[in-house]
């Protein structure tokens, strides 16, 4: 029987379940047997597979996380690990795998495709840092979660005339910080993509704002930029404004996906199966100008996503 498999890999993201559901339903619709692989590539190595039917993905479209579990798998990056995974694919007649995850997961999908197993990647990460795609599943939900959390922080920092220094996720990417920062009216937004000077870009702006009558502040910092406790301490020392640091952390990865994440995940899942049903692999599904398209994985991995400096400038200009 023609069989395809689906797995989630790397950090989970809200909307991954909607993507799994779309893959399973579209796969069965197109006449495939669909296997779910548990815990990412580790499950492919161990043969931890479950047969999916139309009902195994009922009642999950609105749930965060991933029902297939996820993992980062160092073993899959070794030739021995890859060979074990290939054995499992062969034993179960798997001719293609849909991999929902980020860049690291796509490298595995490319390597497996090059060994004759068609893989299609679907961008699933709250970081929005997949170069070939305008959008990644989970980004919208994470932004809204972060925004709501900072709104709460603002209530208390406003009541105390304080500065709230908030770390949002993104070790290497400032997309979440930028959009969340604009949405909460942050005085300063610090991201790994844009070099900054704490004195000029944060302290001086706060002092200037204070002169104009502002008494409470929000500074949004992407995880990759540095330690928010130290930044808060520095701000307090140099401005005299009482400051508190908050790390939002994994709160941002959970929760029920937004409409955007559910719909994009459904579209991308469907598209991935269409590719596999045409015998096409080694592709990443992407969103470009509101259209679902796909790219060769190696080419996709080499692309660079230019940071939205225009939006960054707008944020800067209207936060004073
Ligand atoms: O890639 C998603 C992400 O949430 C990043 O924003 C963050 O830097 C990283 O994962 C955290 O990874 P972990 O869940 O392994 O701590």
pLDDT above 70 as % of the chain: 100
Gyration radius of the chain's alpha carbons: 22
Contact at 8 Å (CB) between 110 and 301? yes
Tell me: pLDDT of 267 over 90: yes
Closest-CA residue, ligand 1 atom 8, reads: 171
Q: For a pocket test of ligand 1, which of 171, 176, 252 has the largest count of ligand atoms closer than 8 A to its C-beta?
A: 171
Summarised one tens digit per residue, pLDDT across range 58-72 is 999 999 999 999 999
203 pLDDT band, cuts 50/70/90, is very high
Centre of ligand 1 to C-alpha 26, Å, is 30
Summarised one tens digit per residue, pLDDT across range 72-111 is 999 999 999 999 999 999 999 999 999 999 999 999 999 9
Q: What is the pLDDT of residue 106?
A: 97
Q: What is the pLDDT of residue 194?
A: 97
Tell me: pLDDT of 123 over 90: yes
Which residue matches tokens 């104009």?
Answer: 212
For ligand 1, is residue 278 a contact (CB within 6 Å)? no
ipTM for the whole predicted complex goes beyond 0.95: yes
- Binding-site annotation, residues for ADP: 21-25, 154, 211, 214-216
Distance, in Å, from the CA atom of 85 to the CA atom of 209, rounded to the nearest integer, reads: 58
Tell me: pLDDT of 320 over 90: no
What pTM did the predictor assign? 0.97
Identify whether 129 is a catalytic site residue: no
139 pLDDT band, cuts 50/70/90, is very high
Q: What is the pLDDT of residue 4?
A: 98
Q: What is the pLDDT of residue 95?
A: 94
Tell me: pLDDT of 127 over 90: yes
What ligand 1 atom has the least distance to the C-alpha of 72?
15
- Binding-site annotation, residues: 11, 21-25, 72-73, 102-105, 125-127, 154, 162, 169-171, 211, 214-216, 223, 244, 250-253
Closest-CA residue, ligand 1 atom 6, reads: 170
| SS3 readout for the chain | CCEEEEEECCCCCCCHHHHHHHHHHHHHHCCCEEEEECCHHHHHHHCCEEEECHHHHCCCCCCCCCCCCCCCCHHHHCHHHHHHHHHHHHHCCEEEEEEEECHHHHHHHHHHHHCCCEEEEEEECCCCCCCCCCCCECHHHHHHHHHHHHHHHHHHHHHCCCEEEEEECCCCCCHHHHHHHHHCCCCEEECCCCCCCHHHHHHHHHHHHHHCCCCCEEEEEEHHHCCHHHHHHHHHHHHCCCEEEEECHHHHHCCCCCHHHHHHHHHHHHHHHHHHHCCCCCEEEEEECCEEEEEEHHHHHHCCCCCCHHHHHHHHHCCC
Centre of ligand 1 to C-alpha 134, Å, is 20
Tokens of 193: 């993509």
What ligand 1 atom has the least distance to the C-alpha of 173?
6
């Amino acid at each position: 029987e023609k069989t395809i498999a689906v797995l989630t890999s790397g950090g989970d993201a809200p909307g991954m379940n909607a993507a799994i559901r779309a893959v399973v339903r579209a796969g069965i619709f197109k006449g495939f047997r669909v296997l779910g692989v548990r815990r990412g590539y580790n499950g492919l190595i161990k043969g931890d597979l479950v047969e999916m039917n139309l009902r195994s993905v009922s009642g999950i479209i609105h749930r965060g996380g991933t029902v297939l579990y996820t993992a980062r798998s160092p073993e899959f990056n070794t030739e021995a690990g890859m060979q074990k995974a290939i054995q499992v694919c062969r034993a179960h007649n798997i001719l293609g795998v849909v991999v929902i995850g980020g860049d690291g997961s796509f490298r595995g999908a490319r390597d497996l495709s090059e060994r004759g197993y068609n893989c299609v990647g679907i961008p699933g990460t709250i970081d929005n840092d997949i170069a070939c795609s305008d959008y990644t599943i989970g980004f919208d939900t994470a932004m809204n979660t972060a925004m709501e959390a900072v709104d709460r922080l603002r209530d208390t920092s406003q009541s105390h005339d304080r500065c709230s220094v908030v770390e949002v996720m993104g070790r290497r990417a400032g997309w979440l910080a930028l959009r969340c920062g604009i949405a909460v009216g942050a005085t300063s937004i610090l991201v790994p993509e844009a070099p900054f000077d704490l004195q000029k870009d944060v302290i001086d702006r706060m002092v200037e704002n204070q002169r104009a009558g502002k008494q409470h502040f929000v500074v949004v910092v992407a995880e990759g930029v540095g330690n928010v406790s130290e930044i808060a301490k520095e701000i307090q020392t140099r401005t005299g404004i009482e400051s508190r640091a908050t790390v939002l952390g994994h709160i941002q990865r959970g929760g029920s996906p937004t409409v955007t994440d559910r719909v994009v995940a459904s579209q991308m899942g469907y598209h991935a199966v269409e590719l596999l049903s045409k015998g096409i692999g080694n592709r990443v599904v992407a969103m470009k100008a509101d259209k679902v398209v796909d790219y060769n994985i190696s080419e996709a991995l080499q692309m660079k996503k230019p940071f939205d400096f225009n939006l960054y400038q707008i944020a800067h200009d209207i936060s004073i």
